[in-house]
């Protein structure tokens, strides 16, 4: 049997747009399944960064 499932490569230096990449599980990070975030607002953009893996999404 062939494995058809491809793992998504997540670039932790990139800021992902929430509209393009919504959470697979609401309120949890796709990469590590963590629910702890650092939130910041800069230039009118709300940025959510995972405390465990560092993945960032703009809301």
Please provide the DSSP assignment of 11-42 as one string: -TTSEEETTTS--SSTTS-TTT----EEEEEE
Residue 13 has pLDDT above 60, yes or no: yes
4 in any annotated domain:
no
CA dist 37 and 53 (Å) reads 10
Please indicate, yes or no, if residue 52 is contained in any of the structural domains: yes
- Averaged pLDDT score across all residues of the chain: 85
User: How many distinct structural domains can be found in the chain?
Assistant: 1
What order of strands is seen across the sheet that includes strand 45-50? 15-17, 56-58, 45-50, 37-42
Q: Look at residue 15 in the predicted model and tell me its pLDDT.
A: 92
Helix (H) or strand (E) holding 49, with range, is: strand 45-50
Tell me, yes or no, whether 9 lies in a domain.
Answer: no
- Predicted confidence at residue 7, as pLDDT, reads 55
Question: At 11, is the pLDDT very low, low, confident or very high (cuts 50, 70, 90)?
Answer: confident
Asked whether residue 6 is assigned to any structural domain, the reply reads: no
Is 26 a domain residue?
Answer: yes
Lowest mean per-residue pLDDT among 8-17, 18-27, 49-58: 8-17
- Domain assignment of residue 26, given as a range: 15-58
Q: Please compute the mean of the pLDDT values over residues 16-40 and round it to a whole number.
A: 90
- pTM reported for the whole predicted model: 0.73
Query: Is 8 part of any domain?
Result: no
């Amino acid at each position: 049997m062939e494995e058809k499932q491809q793992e998504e490569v997540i670039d932790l230096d990139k800021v992902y747009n929430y509209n393009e990449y919504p959470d697979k599980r609401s309120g949890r990070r796709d990469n590590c399944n963590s629910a702890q975030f650092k939130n910041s607002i800069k230039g009118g953009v709300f940025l959510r960064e995972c405390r465990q893996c560092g993945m960032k999404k703009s809301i």
